Amino acid sequence: MSHQRTHRYCGGKGEVPRTSGMPGYCFGCEGTGKITVYTAAEKAARQAKRERWESARALVEKHARTVQAPEGVRALVFRHEVVAGFDTLGEREPQRMEKLYASLDAGRIDDVVYALYEYRQSTAA
Ligand SMILES: [Zn+2]
């Protein structure tokens, strides 16, 4: 299990003295005074998750070049919007990423690419 410990750099205060002598924000612990220590297994899991994300993103981006963009949408814009859709989904609804990965694994890459494009259109302000 991960656990929290006091950030040694700032001594748990969450702030560090600036050159002016006034207290400044401690970026190392994001001002909380604590940092999270992960076990080796947790680090490996986080690494695997990051790699999964990156490979899925690369696959989607590459595949978006090969599918037909919707009528009236330039290919370059389409690709950009698909990748933006991927990023937006990951930021706003990370719990849906597992389903996306499963669809990619099942070979439904076209569906994922179009769904990400649609998602992007529905979320873009
Ligand atoms: Zn700190």
Instruction: For residues 12 and 33, state if they share a domain.
Output: yes
Residue 13 Cα to ligand 1 middle (Å): 6
Asked whether residue 77 is assigned to any structural domain, the reply reads yes
Question: How do residues 46-61 score in pLDDT, each as one tens digit?
Answer: 999 999 999 999 999 9
Asked whether residue 98 is assigned to any structural domain, the reply reads yes
Model confidence band, residue 20 (pLDDT cutoffs 50, 70, 90) = confident
Instruction: For residues 53 and 107, state if they share a domain.
Output: yes
Instruction: For residues 93 and 66, state if they share a domain.
Output: yes
Instruction: Write down the pLDDT at residue 28.
Output: 95
Question: How do residues 2-18 score in pLDDT, each as one tens digit?
Answer: 999 999 999 999 999 98
C-alpha closest to that of 64 among 9, 21, 7, 114: 114
Instruction: For residues 52 and 93, state if they share a domain.
Output: yes
Instruction: For residues 51 and 110, state if they share a domain.
Output: yes
Question: How do residues 73-94 score in pLDDT, each as one tens digit?
Answer: 999 999 999 999 999 999 999 9
Is the per-residue pLDDT at 22 higher than 80? yes
Domain count, the chain: 2
Instruction: For residues 12 and 71, state if they share a domain.
Output: no
Residue 23 Cα to ligand 1 middle (Å): 12
Instruction: Write down the pLDDT at residue 19.
Output: 87
Residue 103 Cα to ligand 1 middle (Å): 41
Residue 19 Cα to ligand 1 middle (Å): 16
Task: Tell me which residue range forms the domain holding 30.
Answer: 3-37
- Determine the average pLDDT of the residues in 30-45: 95
Instruction: For residues 31 and 54, state if they share a domain.
Output: no
Instruction: For residues 59 and 112, state if they share a domain.
Output: yes
Residue 30 Cα to ligand 1 middle (Å): 7
Is the per-residue pLDDT at 125 higher than 70? no
Which own/partner pairs from 59-67 qualify as long-range (CB within 8 Å, at least 24 positions apart)? 59/104, 59/109, 60/86, 60/104, 60/109, 60/112, 60/113, 60/116, 61/86, 63/109, 63/110, 63/113, 64/113, 67/110, 67/113, 67/114
